[in-house]
Each structure stands twice: as C-alpha cells, then as structure tokens.
Amino acid sequence: MSVAIENFVKAIYKNDIQDNNDTKPGNIAKKLGISNAAATDMAKKLATKDLLHYEKYQALQLTEKGTKMALNVVRKHRLWEALLFKMFDMSLHEIHREAELLEHETSDFLANKISEYLGNPKFDPHGDPIPNADGEITTEDISIALSQSKEGKTYIISRLMSDDKEFFDFCAQNGLKYGNTITITKQFSKNKMTQISINNNTILLNEDFTNIIYVNEI
Amino acid sequence: MSVAIENFVKAIYKNDIQDNNDTKPGNIAKKLGISNAAATDMAKKLATKDLLHYEKYQALQLTEKGTKMALNVVRKHRLWEALLFKMFDMSLHEIHREAELLEHETSDFLANKISEYLGNPKFDPHGDPIPNADGEITTEDISIALSQSKEGKTYIISRLMSDDKEFFDFCAQNGLKYGNTITITKQFSKNKMTQISINNNTILLNEDFTNIIYVNEI
DNA sequence: AAAAATATTTAAGTAAGCTTAAAAATTAAT
DNA sequence: ATTAATTTTTAAGCTTACTTAAATATTTTT
Ligand SMILES: [Mn+2]
Ligand SMILES: [Mn+2]
Ligand SMILES: [Mn+2]
Ligand SMILES: [Mn+2]
C-alpha cells in the first residue's frame, strides 16, 4: 500500500484513540494537511479496498484490516523512534520527524530485527505503546492526563503525547521527561491550569499542555 | 526530489562508473524496470531541472548538480547498509534491499548521525566507497576485478559488486567475503574462468562472477 | 551500400493523489 | 423553526510517473 494510504489509516486510528472529535474526513484532512475533498476521495477509495467503512456524512470507521494496517505502521514508527533515540543523540521531535518517513519503507522483517535488538520494548521514548508483530498492544494503559491529576499527589511522567517541536523543547528545558517524578501543588479548576513541582522548580501549565502530558500514580 | 528522480540519477551514476555500456535511456530503463519511453521522458524532464544534459540519441550526462544528488543518495544507501550489517544479523542481499528504500527517506541530518556512530566509515559491507557529507569519495580505488588477477598471486577480497541474491548466497557459502584472502591457482584465459583457492577449497569461477568480485594485491 | 535489427523518440492514454470551486447536507446560532 | 455557518461532497482539472503503439533514427549485419 502507498504512503498516502498508510498515513491515512494511521491518522484515522490516532484520531479515534487520541482526539475527541469525530473521525470525519475534515478532521483527517486537517491532520494530514490535505483538502477535505482529497480526504473524502481517499475515504471512498479505501472503502472499496475494505480498509474502512464509509457512509456519506458519517464518521469513518476502520475495518479490522484497516486497523491492522494502521497498527503495523504505528509499530514501525515507534520502533524507529526507540532505535534512533537509543543510538543517536536526537530529541523527541527529531526522532518523530524521521520515523514519520521511515515507517513506510520498513519491511516487517526489518521491524522485527529492530524490535529484537531493543529487547522487544513495550513503549517508545514518548511513552506510547509499541504494537507487537501481530499488531496487538498488550500493555494496558493506566496513565491519566495531567489535567485529571489530584492536588497533592505525586506522579511519574508516562507519556508525552504530541509531535510539536515547541512542546518538546519546553519539556526538555523543564525536566518534563518520560520517567521523571512530579508533584501536583495546585489544580486551578476554574482556569484549567495545573501547578506542578519538579526538581524543586514550580511550573504552571495550561490545559493545552496538561491534556497531552500523561502520568502514572505511584 | 522524488524517489523516481533519485533512483534515476543514481542509476545513471552507477551505469557510468560500473557498467561498460552507453548511458542511454534504454540501459537506464532496464536497470529501473521501466519502459524506454518512460526513461526518455524522465531524461528530458531532468534536463530542464539542470540535473543532466540531454541530447537526442546521445548518452545521458549528469551535471554537477545531478552528480551531487546521486552521490548523496549513494551515501545514504551505503551508510544504511553499514549500519544494518553491523547491528543486525542480515545478509548482504538483505541490507541492500532495505537500503534501496531507506536511502530516499533519510535526512542529511540522520545520515550524518549514522556516519558518526559508525566512525565515518569509508567503505560499506560490499566494499563500495561511502561518499562523505560533501559528496566526495576520498579513497582511491586500487582494486581490480578478479578476472584481471594474476595466476599464483594472493589477494584480499575488497569488493562484491552486485545486488543479486544468488550471487551473495554463493559467496556466503564459499567464504567469499570482504577482507578474506584468496590465491589464484589458475587462469583459464580461453574460457575466461578463474580457479581460486580459499580456506583450502578450490573453486572455479566463470566470468560472470570474476567481473564483479574485486580484490586488492597484498 | 542496402537491408535488417535494434534502440530511441513521439504520441496518446492511465492511475494516484492532489487542487479549487461550487453544490448539497449537516450543525450551530438566533 | 428559520437562518446562518460550517462541513461534506461532487465536479473538473492538474502533475507525476508510468504504460503501449507507432514513427523515426541509429547500429549491425549481410
Ligand atoms: Mn512519533
Ligand atoms: Mn508517515
Ligand atoms: Mn547496495
Ligand atoms: Mn532506491
């Protein structure tokens, strides 16, 4: 299947599990940087290939086959991220940028080699789960968005769910890193802001960030 | 530039330095598995992009710009081969197959990371030289084809110039490996066959193979 | 030197993956 | 419940990278 198709089913998959908006052509188009018309066209085409269900004006739904394809691409993406992160001195944003391309040009054979080399990791450097060779995610996600965290409690950062350079730069500068410990010093429920303490520094985060930083209770 | 263009200029580059036939559209077409018409079309298009000189019925000639592009792709190809060969248990044929795709989806930035990690190697696992970041090949090639070797002399295998699985399988089975030592026990000049001794085994090679196995005098 | 074989070029056409513009439907606002 | 705004769909068209078939040029053989 083509790069365009792989990116399309992946975008649907990610929209379904991450974003809280309908998985309609327009939202996929926005993600991929293409026109709504192009997204509708593609959706129709993929329906004939049994990769998704398409009904006019309704949300797109991946078939089992489509889901499998998406997970296979996601697997390769995250394995590349894990490999590049481990081997080279590259930032979370940089590994993502490269993985976005490499994911489409990687045989299952090579993906398995990478996985094996890394000890079949369950998570990538962003904290995202890596599907196994059968396209299954075996880990259960016990993390919550920082926006849902409780005042006074202490958490471990488990996931930085973004692909935005500015966000990652901010995180790197402030010690917001996979595995690090933070304490919630205050939840401003009205303005939807969260004050945290990390490495003896106090940081105030707004909703944009607390919705994409995930943590585990300890 | 597109994958098609990168493969096209690379094919011209390799035809020029490896194969002894004209670099005309037909030969490039054969290499790339496309029609002659498609190759002519592409040649014309690339001429307008200043990547090559095109004159009807004449051999194609890369411009400096075209050569630079070809060398950049070759660099990435060979760096990937070196990396995959070092890290994973993959054959010469397998690394080539993967590199053929990865070479087009690798930023200069990542290529430099790979090179650095490997200690800026000058040769890939086939013995082919790896251009540096400026697109220069600084090593001088002192190797000769096995078909040109002298009876009674001893050589080191320096290059396996092919991308054919069967050839690599044969090499692997018979110890014909980059860096290994062989002795020429007989040159059958009439039938263009070469008898070599390696690891106490005697092997008779025909021209197909002695033209793509390169060796250095010791 | 002509004829035959081969290679190259031109011409016409196709599929993928996009675009913009306009029409139709849905969703949100009054 | 209308009206307005937004989204989705349809329609028409573009570029890239190919194809096959026919015309033309080159190369090889006789
Ligand atoms: Mn990523
Ligand atoms: Mn991608
Ligand atoms: Mn190779
Ligand atoms: Mn290639």
pLDDT, position A141: 86
When scoring B110, B118, B165 by the number of chain A Cβ atoms within 10 A, the one with the most, hence best to mutate, is B110
Entry pTM: 0.93
Alpha-carbon span A117 to A122, nearest angstrom: 13
pLDDT at A183 over 80: yes
Query: What distances in angstroms separate CA A39 from CA A35, A48, A50, A59, one per listed residue?
Result: 6, 15, 16, 12
Who among A87, A97, A113 is closest to B117 (CB)?
A87
pLDDT, position A189: 77
Query: What distances in angstroms separate CA B177 from CA B78, B91, B126, B129, B214, one per listed residue?
Result: 17, 11, 9, 16, 11
Alpha helices in B88-173 (DSSP H): 92-102, 108-117, 165-173
Who among B90, B107, B114 is closest to A113 (CB)?
B90
The pocket of ion ligand 1, defined by CB under 5 A, consists of A 96
Instruction: Specify whether the CB–CB gap between A126 and A160 falls below 8 A.
Output: yes
Alpha-carbon span A142 to A70, nearest angstrom: 22
More confident residue, B190 or A96: A96
Strands (DSSP E) found in chain A: 52-53, 61-62, 144-145, 154-160, 181-188, 193-198, 201-205, 213-217
Amino acid at B89: D
Strands A213-217 and A144-145: antiparallel
User: Which residue is the nearest neighbor of D24, CA to C1'?
Assistant: B57
pLDDT digits (tens, 9 = 90+) for B55-105: 999 999 999 999 999 999 999 999 999 999 999 989 999 999 999 999 999
Instruction: Specify whether the CB–CB gap between B114 and B80 falls below 8 A.
Output: yes
Q: Is the CB of A37 under 7 A from strand D?
A: yes
pLDDT at B190 over 80: no
More confident residue, B191 or A60: A60
Give kind and range of the element (H or E) at residue B41. helix B36-48
pLDDT at B25 over 90: yes
pLDDT, position A13: 98
Give kind and range of the element (H or E) at residue B157. strand B154-160
**Which of B80, B77, B133 is CA-nearest to residue B108?**
B133
When scoring A76, A98, A100, A118 by the number of chain B Cβ atoms within 10 A, the one with the most, hence best to mutate, is A98
Q: Is the CB of A61 under 7 A from strand D?
A: no
User: Which residue is the nearest neighbor of C7, CA to C1'?
Assistant: B26
pLDDT, position A190: 74
Query: What distances in angstroms separate CA B164 from CA A143, A144, B19, B209, one per listed residue?
Result: 49, 52, 15, 11
**Chain B residues with CB-CB distance to A107 below 8 A:** 97-98
pLDDT (average), residues A71-85:
98
Residue B119, chain A, CB below 8 Å: the answer is no
Residue B109, chain A, CB below 8 Å: the answer is yes
pLDDT at A50 over 80: yes
Between the CA of B118 and the centroid of ligand 3 the distance, in Å, is: 17
Q: Is A125 exposed, middle or buried (0-12, 13-18, 19+ CB in 10 A)?
A: buried
Q: Is the CB of A119 under 7 A from strand C?
A: no
Angle at B29 between CA B70 and CA B127, to 5 degrees: 45
pLDDT, position B146: 92
Q: Two tokens at A85?
A: 């992160």
Q: Is the CB of A82 under 7 A from strand C?
A: no
Domains and CATH numbers, chain B: 3-62 (1.10.10.10), 75-139 (1.10.10.10), 144-217 (2.30.30.90)
pLDDT, position A43: 98
pLDDT digits (tens, 9 = 90+) for A110-156: 999 999 999 999 999 999 999 999 999 999 888 999 999 999 999 99
Alpha-carbon span A199 to A169, nearest angstrom: 17
pLDDT (average), residues A102-108:
98
Q: How far is the CA of A59 from the C1' of C24 (A)?
A: 18
pLDDT at A191 over 80: no
**Which of B97, B72, B194 is CA-nearest to residue A109?**
B97
Which chain A residue's Cα is nearest to B88?
Answer: A113
Give kind and range of the element (H or E) at residue B61. strand B61-62
What is the longest distance spanned by two Cα atoms in chain A?
56
Q: Which nucleotides of D are covered by protein (CB under 7 A)?
A: 7-12, 16-22, 25-27
pLDDT, position A163: 84
Looking at the complex, report in whole angstroms how far the Cα of residue B91 sits from the nearest Cα belonging to chain A.
12
Residue A101, chain B, CB below 8 Å: the answer is yes
Alpha-carbon span B42 to B30, nearest angstrom: 14
Q: Which strands form B201-205's sheet, in the order they lie side by side?
A: B144-145, B213-217, B154-160, B181-188, B193-198, B201-205
pLDDT at A87 over 80: yes
Q: Two tokens at A204?
A: 């105030």
**Which of A170, A145, A195, A149 is CA-nearest to residue A93?**
A170
Give kind and range of the element (H or E) at residue B36. helix B36-48
pLDDT, position A75: 98
